[in-house]
Every structure is written in structure tokens, then in C-alpha cells.
A and B are shown apart, each in its own frame.
Chain A
Amino acid sequence: MDKIINPSRRAFLKTGTTLGVGLTLAFYLPVGGAARMKAGQGTDKPFAPNAFIRIAPDDTVTVIVKHLEMGQGVNTGLPTLVAEELDVPWEKIRVETAPADAKLYNNLLWGPMQGTGGSTAMANSFEQLRRAGATARAMLIAAAADNWKVDTNTLVTLDGMVLHRPSGRKASYGQLAEKAATMPQPAEVALKSPQDFKYIGKQFKRTDSKAKSNGSAQFASDVRLPGQLTALLARPSVFGARLRRVQTERAKAVPGVRAVVEVPQGVAVIATDFWSAKKGRDALQIEWDESGGARVSTTEQRDQYLALLNQPGKVARSEGDAAQALAQAAKKLEATFEFPYLAHAPMEPLSCVVQLKDSGCEIWAGSQSQTSDQATAAQILGIKPEQVKIHTLLAGGSFGRRANPASDYIAEAVSVAKATRDLSAPIHLMWTREDDIRGGYYRPMFVHAISAGLDAQGNPVAWNQRLVGQSIAAGTAFEGGLVKDGIDMTSVEGASNLAYAIPNLHVELHSPKLGVPVLWWRSVGHTHTAFSTEIFIDELAAAAGKDPYAFRRTLIQHPRLNGVLELAATKAGWGTPLAPKSGVRRGRGIAVHESFNSFVAEVAEVSVKPDGSFSVDRVICAVDCGIAVNPDQVRAQMEGGIGFGLSAALHSAITLKAGRVEQSNFHDYPLLRISEMPRVEVHIVPSQAAPTGVGEPGVPPLAPAVANALFAATGKRLRKLPFETSELRSA
């Protein structure tokens, strides 16, 4: 089981190298532009031993972070790795976001691409940044040894100082920086063993909490360049429709509107400020040609998907003979599960600033995929990708939305800038919330059917699952790496590698093609596969007359998966009765799932009122993510993942009618509110394994744990998301 790789976003461009996980931890430490400093360049020059570290004469250590900070804590977790091996106290650490440069700053798990996603930031940086820190430390020691004419092995470091204990001499890193820049890079450095970690596992405070609590944190929406204009784009009425004609006079008459231009993506209104641009856009009179558009209606699409469940699909996994074993089973169960389209709805609507220059173009964005953003902009402008300079800013949430292989909002902004070149103004493209909810790139709608059989002793002997839903990777640069024999791994991840020991397992997939754009959404395929498999396992346990925890415990063979299952169950007091509350039915449910090489189990406790409405009172979560570099941020990501999963379970669905998205803002696409947030307890399994991701793995177990708790409370199985609480009414 250890060798199963969850493929989301970590496979590799068609044209790229095929780095497997065995190779991905291989050391690659690029030398930064400022690295090859010559002696005598002045004492105000920093020491930049590699592309990730800069040490200044004032003893501050700047860590260059190659990943996007979108809330998941990379600006804290990644510098911790440097601090550990370089031996610097936290207050000396500064954080800087890396420029776009796939040669220096590629995601080692993605291949030759810079980007953030698939819960890979820590996993792909763990060795790279520690090695960066250890290399710098070795050069500082070498500098001190040279200054003091002593052997390097008589020197130690402590909190940003090199010490020579026999003589009592000491020098700070800042004092040694200039000299260190002249020392040769060591070919090999030793890294600390986990038992020697001083900072890893001890939870430094976030580096960005203060700026994010006083309004000073800078997001792409906040960029204000001299002469900047704001652009809003009118997009087609249905996906794939084309502009037939537009009347722009009224829009142009709005005070503040500077230009109205047609671009391949729609019609843009450019104004001095957001409100003028908005009024200008509202005043456009546009006729769209919908003949080539996707006139999808969700109700019909659902019927078609359900019909496909009865037809053979492409085989994603087949072990034994599930059909025969099912025919011979003592007891058979089957069920259908449904999942809607989902919008990411980050709190910061998409936005970026583009400035065209003689040298190329500069972009300010919360870029989650710098390499594809560069390529997209370069293609539109007819320049080279390296002429596209990206300033990666904080993102106000993303959840996958800004890691679009199509770089949609970047392409729009660059197209608008190109069409308004004569204005010589930086263009700030902004999306409204309506643009966001209706803008596509959704978690694909899916339906699953599972049938399974138990033998006379209640052991599962056959499991047959069929899934229907659009491929995310098809037609993108990720297709070559993620789609094998017609199976998009991100469609079946979590189902094709079912964790339960069932001798006859068969998984099939239909990937219908529709014009509704789809995209990875926090935890990708696991958003639906964990739900169907973890509910159906519960159903099998009930049919076998067994306890759902004990049933899972027996069937799971992976020790780390069982580890989190046991820990969550123990901490939740599994098997003890819940305290009764008057007027409600209470229940406890459990679910466990591996995603992105991390293991998470969650126990949910619910209270259901007679009218079917319910609250999730408490969630107990156990996570095994290898070494928890920053345990408090691991907890934060589990808390957030649980809230994100609950939001989808309770509320979220995007539906279409004749190609038009029926939702538009938070009143009809509601998100979880504070009054709905359960108490969350997170327990971390102690581990010395290499760290894996935590941004996504907290999401998948939540919805099935709640569904299983609702079953325990009411005897009703909810197999459709979002939950329809009317089904939970007391008789």
C-alpha cells in the first residue's frame, strides 16, 4: 500500500521528465542569481549561498519561498526547515516569495514546473530546504575557520552564531556573511536526524498572522500601481458561446469608463475604478451566439449520468472476479451516490494586474501555477515565457482555483492589456463574486454506483464500483501524466485503490465530455470517492451486524491507516454512549481515508431535530502526515479541511439550466458559517516518516463521517450531497 501514489497534480507534463517519487527527493539545489558573490563587494552585500537563502550583515536570514501562500502556511512551514539546519532563531527569519522561474523553483513532485497544489509543498521541499540550510551553515563555518585559522570540526553553531569553544571566539552569521560568500559550496552535507530537531515539530508562530490581522497583508486585489485601470469582463452567457454583437455606447458614457474592448474571452470594460467598471459592464448590451455553447441542464445531465451507471465503462482496477463473487454472495447490497458541481469560492475573487513593458510583461497575482501562467501570457503576447515576470502575492484562498492549467483569469487580463496597449496603463482585472460562482472550473459533477456482497459470516467478498464524471486532466498539459488508458487518475483516486481487503474488486469509469469547465478542488477525486466508499463500508458493516469501527479495523491492512482509525476512535470514546440531549436524536459516525500520502480518520457527532435539521457538534480527527513540521499548522489545516468539507456537505451545489449557472453569490451558494462550525479536536500521530501534505487530506473523511453519524442517529442513509435534511424528519 505504501507504494500507491495519489496522482493529483503531481504527475508530469507530457514533455517533461518522468520523475517518480523515488527520485523526487533527490537533491537539487540551484544556485541563486546573487550567489556567486566575489569578495570585496562591500559589507552591505548579503550572502546568498543558493536560491533559497540570503543572509544579511544585520544577521537577518531571508528565506525565499517557491510556493504560493494561500493560507496553508508555507510561509511558516518552509522557513522552519531552513532555520532548523542553518541553526537560526525564528526572530531572525524573513520570508520572501520566489520569482517565477521553473529552473530554480520547480515543484520537485510536478517535474519541470513551478506550482503549488496536491498538498506537495512540504513533501517536495523537506529535503531541498534543509539541504539549503545545511549548505549555508557549512559555508559560514568554513568562513569562520578560515578567519580564525582553526579546523572546521572545532566549530559549532548556536542561534545564528559560529562558536569556537576552546578560545571563546564567536561571530554572528551576519559578520561572516561576506566571507562565507567566497567559500566553496560543499559537495555533500549531513542533515540532522529527526531526534536532533530543535525547531521542526516545535511549532513556530505563523509569519503572516500580524499582517493578516491589521489589514496590511497584500493580496493581488490590493495592488495599486500608478495609472492603473480596473477591468471587468463580460463573459459568455453559456460556456462556449461566442459574441454576436455588442452595443457599447451606454457603457462608454458611464463616467470613469476609459475603454470598452472585445477580447477572445468576452467584452472588457476598463475604467478608473471598480465601481465605474462595474456600472459600465452592466450597461453593455450584448447578444451571444449560443449555437456552439454548452446548453447543459443539470437535471438532464443527471439522468444521462444515471443511465451510464448501467453501462460498462473503462476498467480502472480489477482484482479477482467481482461479478461472479457478487452472484454467489450470501447477501448483496447496492447504492447510488450523487455529487454536484462545486465552485471553489475563495474569499478573494480572482484578480491580477498586468503591465506590458518593452521587455515583456509583468504580472501581479496569487499565482498557484507560475509556469503555466507564464506560458499562457507569453503565448498571447508572442513573447518568451521568461519575459513574463510574475510577482506572486498572497492569495485570499484558492483551493485549486488558481492552479488552472488554462490560466483563465491570467489569459483574460493579458488579453485586455494587449487590447488596450495604447492606454499604457497597468490593467487590474477583477472578478466579482457572480463572475466567480458562474465562471466554471468546478469540481466535476459525479455519480457512483456500488454493489457489494457479503459471505455468510458477514465478510465482504465482492466490490463493484462504477463512477461517472468529467475528466479534469483531459485536454490539459497534465493529460499525459494523469490519464492512463482512458482513466483519469484524479477521477478514481481513493476508489481504485480502495483500502479494504476485499478479494474481488472491480472499478469502472465513464468520463463524459461536456462543455462545463472542471478543475481540481481541494482534495480532488477524494472529495467524492471517500464519500461513497466510506458510507458503503458502513452499510456493509450494518448489513453484517458488525460495529462500523471494528469492521473497518479488520479489513484495513495498512498500519498507518489503522493507526489513525484507532486513534480517532479512542479519542472519541467510540463504543461509549453519547450524552443524550432532550429533543434531538444523537449519533456518532466514523470515516477514514488516505489522500496525498497522508492518513486521516474523523469521528463526527451529530444531533438531529425532529424536522430533520441537524448540527455537527464535535469532530475528532486523527492525522498521520509523517513528521509534523509545525503541529499547530497541521491542526489548523485539519480544522479548516473539516469546515471546508462540512460546507460542501451541508450547502453547496452548482446547477445549470439551458447552460446558465443558476447560482450567483453566497445567498444561493451558501458557505459554512461560524454558527455551524463544530468543535474540532485534532490528534497527530507521532512519526519520523518524511512529511506529507495536510492542505487537502482533512477534507475527504468529513462528509462520510457525518453521513454515518446521521445514520447512527436516525437509521437513514444520505447518499447525495449536499444533504437533504427533509429525509431525516422523524416519522
Chain B
Amino acid sequence: MIPIIVNGTPRSVDATPDTPLLWVLRDNLGLTGTKFGCGMAQCGACTVHLNGAPVRACMTPVSAAAGQKITTIEGAQGKAVKALQDAWVKLDVPQCGYCQSGQIMSAAALLAGNPQPTDADIDTALDGNLCRCATYQRIRAAVHQAARTMRG
């Protein structure tokens, strides 16, 4: 059994240490908001926060997260996430929607450290998050919008 703290709740999961955190979240804990896209940290669909920093859960063995704090889209809270989700809805960013949990988790990490990102900052922070529907233009606009909301 491996102890992890998921969205503020201590959990103990029955998984081999090499199991990627992604599959612990999805299969052991039923938290399916974090998505599987590639399994090799190429697409960002599985982005979660580990102690507040964005990581690709598909390449993070659960043993590396033992005893640590994991935040998924289901438990993501705070001003940045709320502002991002509101902006995502306001600008109708999603198309198929499959990548958007990961996009929002990456964007939240960006805003946590950079309250006024430029287009270039956004491109750098989100370049690891693929969107096959190419909603990128709206993602950029929505991150700016959320940043404006947060600055008040």
C-alpha cells in the first residue's frame, strides 16, 4: 500500500510502485478527469500538480509521489483555477474537451507564478499540452482573460 494525499485527502493505494500516478488516479481512485493521451509525457493530457508544481502523471511512478500532495482537476481550487474555468466557459474554449483538464492544470501553474503572462509566456508554459482540435487561440485568450480577472 502506498500513501498519497489526493485533493487534500490522505489515501492508501494498492498498486505496484512502478504504476504511473495517472493509472492510480484513474483506475484505483476513479478520478477520471485526468486523461491518458500518450503515456510518454508528450501531450500533457495527464497534467496534475505535485506539491503545487505541474507534472505529467503518466510518467510519474506512484512511488515518487508517496506521501506527497497531488491535486487533480477534480480537486483544483483557488482563484486561478476558478478564473481559468470561468474564462474557458465564457470563451467556449473546449471542442472535444479531452485535453482541457490538462490545459487548465498547466495554465493554473503558469498563473501561480506569473500574474500577467504574455502570449510568449503562455506558449512556453502550455507547449507541452497538445490539443488536436487546435483550440489554442482560445486557450491563449482565456488565459489572458483569467489573468485579468485575478488582477481585478
**Interface residues of A, Cβ cutoff 8 Å to B:** 70-73, 205-206, 208-219, 221-222, 224, 230, 255, 272-275, 345-349, 394-399, 430, 432-434, 632-633, 636, 639-640, 642-644, 646-647, 665-667, 671-675, 677, 679-680
A673 to B99, CA, bound (A): 13
Interface centre among B28, B129, B136, B139 (most CB of A within 10 A): B136
Cβ–Cβ contact B126 & A221, under 8 A? no
Q: In the assembled complex, which residues on chain B have CB atoms less than 8 Å from the CB atom of A432? A: 39
Chain A residues lying within 8 Å of B104, measured Cβ to Cβ, are 213
Cα distance A106–B71 in the bound complex, in angstroms: 43
Q: Which of B1-50 contact A (CB under 8 A)?
A: 15-16, 19-20, 23, 26-28, 30-40, 42-43, 45
Chain B residues with Cβ under 8 A from A222's Cβ?
A: 32
Q: Once the chains are docked, how many angstroms separate the CA of A639 from the CA of B34?
A: 25
Q: How many A-B residue pairs have CB under 8 A?
A: 179
Scoring A73, A255, A347 by chain B CB atoms within 10 A of each residue's CB, the highest score goes to A347
- Assembled-state Cα–Cα distance A642/B23 (Å): 34
Contact B95 A347 (CB under 8 A): no
Q: Which residues on B sit within 8 Å (CB–CB) of A217?
A: 97
CB distance from A583 to the nearest CB of B (A): 17
Contact present for A346 and B101 (CB under 8 Å): no
* Contact status A275-B20, CB under 8 Å: yes
Q: Does B130 contact A (CB under 8 A)?
A: yes
Q: Is the beta-carbon distance between A640 and B135 smaller than 8 angstroms?
A: yes
B27–A274 touching, CB < 8 Å: yes
Please determine whether A674 and B136 come into contact, CB atoms closer than 8 angstroms: yes
10 shortest interchain CB distances as A-B pairs: A215-B33, A643-B134, A212-B97, A396-B98, A71-B96, A71-B95, A215-B73, A677-B136, A666-B42, A212-B94
Q: Which residues from chain B contact A274 at a C-beta distance below 8 Å?
A: 23, 26-27, 36
- Contact partner, B43, options A213, A272, A639, A666, Cβ 8 Å: A666
Consensus secondary structure, chain B interface: loop
Closest-by-CB residue of B relative to A644 is B134
Note all chain A residues with C-beta closer than 8 A to B63: none
Known: A71-B97, A644-B134. A215 touches B30 (CB 8 A): no
Least CB distance from A513 to B in Å reads 30
- Interchain CB contact (< 8 A) of B130 among A633, A671, A679: A671
Shortest Cβ distance from A129 into chain B, in angstroms? 21
A–B pairs, 27, beta carbons within 8 Å: A71-B95, A73-B95, A205-B89, A206-B94, A209-B94, A214-B74, A215-B33, A215-B74, A216-B33, A273-B28, A274-B27, A275-B19, A275-B23, A347-B133, A396-B35, A397-B133, A636-B135, A639-B134, A640-B134, A643-B134, A643-B136, A647-B134, A666-B40, A671-B132, A672-B136, A673-B130, A674-B122
Task: From known contacts A209-B89, A224-B30, A273-B23, infer whether A346 and B132 are also in contact, taking CB-CB under 8 Å.
Answer: yes
Given B93, B97, B101, B140, which contacts A674 in the complex, CB threshold below 8 Å?
Answer: B140
Residues of A close to B31: CB separation below 8 A: 215
- Candidates B33, B93, B99, B130; contact of A214 at CB < 8 Å: B33
| Cβ contact of A348, chosen from B96, B126, B140, cutoff 8 A | B96
Task: Across the interface, name the chain A residue whose C-beta is closest to B28.
Answer: A273
- 5 additional contacts (CB under 8 A) given A274-B26, A347-B43, A433-B38: A215-B101, A347-B37, A394-B97, A639-B138, A644-B133
Instruction: Find the residue from A212, A348, A671 having the highest chain B CB count within 10 A.
Output: A212
